[in-house]
Each structure stands twice: as structure tokens, then as C-alpha cells.
């Protein structure tokens, strides 16, 4: 059976239809989940898409974390369910404490809207599971607050546990350690600034994002329960 993807929409989210369309074209069933819903029952995976949830008031993601749906998202993640936050969704996940660190204003204070190259640095996450380490992908970014920051202990932990899943080849925003995407300890929650759903058709200039979305859907189709924690084969 095709995996069921829930795409969470907050007031001000604006990438939800792109995510739904990209997932459907990969064979998934995908539907929108309203931020006021208190359950995400029936979904095999969740995406928190990009946009400006609650107008980015206070800080990006700061108000969204209080939306009723976030408690359900937290329980889904705690049960090992795959959750991916893209751009603003990444910011929401850090504000909600589902991922460590924070996204601050880009170095240079510029809003960035361009296509960048990112390198897969860990195949051990729900978004990169079948993607060999070293794979370079061309994927658009579209953000003002994408400059990832965390304290030294957190960075050491992310590196030590191989939880930096994507790095920029040419760092566009000042992110610490060139980080473009990370996962949680359970490897089932991933946040990334690039927009894989915007690189899902030749017409968009790249289909590289489909590599990641396909991995997510494959993870969603896996047996439920905590994801398998395995070492990444060297040179895979």
C-alpha cells in the first residue's frame, strides 16, 4: 500500500501544495493536516513544509510550536514516526525542541533565493536512508533565517553521532560546519533548509530533491516502530 504522507499547514505556510504534489508523483498518498488538528493518526510520515507559519512573528517557528497539532507531531516523532521539516518547518522543529540548535539570520543579512549544491553526509536518517554518502544534490534554498547555530557540545554530539545529514558544498548563509540539515538522536526527525519538493521535476531545473523524498517515503513504508540504528558503511 502506498505510504500516507501528512503535510502540516499553519497559517502562513506556503509550500504545502508543492510537497503534496511532489509526494503524489512519487506514488504516495498525501494530504494536508491543519495546525489546529490534535491528531495525526493514519499517517505514515509527516512533512512540516516551508513558508511563514504565523507570520514568523516573534521568531520563525516560535508561535507555531504552540499550535495544537505540534503535540501530536511530538508524540508521532517519539514513537519513531518519520518527520521532516523543510525550511520554515526546520525552524518550527528547533523551536519545538524536536531538533537541537536554532536558525539565525543569514550571514550578510540577505534573503537567499537560489539553487545550491548540498552533499549527503549521512545515509542514516529517514530522509537520506538509501542515498550514498557523498552524493551531491542541486536543490533550491529560499530563506532569510537559515544560518544554523548550536553550542559546541551540541555540535560535537551531532558530529559524533553522524547526525549532520546534509552539508552545503559552498556555504551560502554562514551555517556552522556548513550544516544544511540534521537529524535527531532517533534519526527519524530531520530538518533541512533546502527545498527538495522544489527539485522534483525537470521543469523546475532539478529532480535531485526526489532522491530525498523517495527515501522519506521508503522510510514511511517501513515497519512501524523505532527506526533501525545501523552504522553507515564506510565509503557507501
Partner 1 sequence: MASSEHFSVLVEVRPREGIADPEGATIERALPALGLNGVSGMRAGKAFRFDIAATDDAEALARATVVAERVLANPVIEESTVTVMPGGASGTSGTPGGRG
133, 120 contact by CB (below 8 A): yes
Q: How far is CA 79 from CA 83, 84, 101, 150, 193, in A?
A: 11, 15, 22, 25, 24
With CB under 8 A as the contact rule, the residue among 2, 21, 32, 62 that binds partner 1 is 62
For residues 137-196, which are near partner 1 according to CB under 8 A? 149-151, 174
How many residues in the chain?
236
- Out of 108, 205, 226, 233, the residue judged to bind partner 1 by CB under 8 A: 108
List, as one string, the DSSP characters of 167-221.
EESS-SS--GGGEEEEE-TTS-EEEESS-GGGSSBGGGTB-THHHHHHHHHHHHH
> Do the Cβ atoms of 86 and 48 come closer than 8 Å?
yes
71 binds partner 1 (CB under 8 A): no
Residue 75 interacts with partner 1 (CB under 8 A)?
no
Residues with a known catalytic role = 87, 195, 197
Can residue 105 be called a binding residue for partner 1 (CB under 8 A)? yes
Show the cell assigned to 156: 560535537
130 binds partner 1 (CB under 8 A): no
Rule CB under 8 A: choose which of 13, 67, 88, 104 binds partner 1: 104
Question: In terms of CB distance, is 97 or 223 closer to partner 1?
Answer: 97
Choose which of 6, 89, 101, 194 interacts with partner 1 (CB under 8 A).
101
Residues at the contact surface with partner 1, assessed by CB under 8 A: 58-59, 62, 94-95, 100-102, 104-109, 149-151, 174
Amino acid at each position: 500500500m502506498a505510504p500516507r504522507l501528512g503535510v502540516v499547514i499553519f497559517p502562513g505556510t506556503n509550500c504545502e501544495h508543492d510537497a503534496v504534489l511532489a509526494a503524489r508523483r512519487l506514488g504516495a498518498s498525501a494530504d494536508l493536516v491543519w495546525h489546529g488538528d490534535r491528531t495525526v493518526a493514519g499517517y505514515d510520515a509527516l512533512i512540516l513544509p516551508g513558508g511563514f507559519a504565523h507570520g514568523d512573528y516573534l521568531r520563525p517557528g516560535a508561535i507555531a510550536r504552540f499550535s495544537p497539532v505540534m503535540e501530536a507531531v511530538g508524540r508521532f516523532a517519539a514513537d519513531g514516526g518519520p518527520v521532516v521539516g523543510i525550511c520554515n518547518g526546520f525552524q518550527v522543529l528547533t523551536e519545538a525542541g524536536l531538533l537541537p540548535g536554532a536558525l539565525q539570520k543569514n550571514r550578510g543579512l540577505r534573503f537567499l533565493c537560489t539553487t545550491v549544491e548540498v552533499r549527503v553526509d549521512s545515509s542514516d536518517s529517514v530522509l537520506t536512508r538509501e542515498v550514498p554518502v557523498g552524493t551531491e544534490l542541486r536543490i533550491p534554498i529560499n530563506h532569510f533565517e537559515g544560518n544554523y547555530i548550536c553550542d559546541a557540545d551540541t555540535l560535537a554530539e551531532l558530529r559524533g553521532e553522524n547526525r549532520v545529514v546534509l552539508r552545503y558544498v559552498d556555504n551560502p548563509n554562514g551555517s556552522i560546519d556548513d550544516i544544511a540539515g540534521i537529524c535527531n538522536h532517533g534519526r527519524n526527525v530531520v530538518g533541512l533548509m533546502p527545498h527538495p519538493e522544489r527539485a522534483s521535476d525537470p521543469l523546475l531545473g532539478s529532480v535531485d530533491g526526489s532522491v530525498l523524498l523517495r527515501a522519506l517515503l521508503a522510510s514511511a513504508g517501513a515497519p512501524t516502530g523505532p527506526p533501525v540504528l545501523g552504522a553507515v558503511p564506510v565509503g557507501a
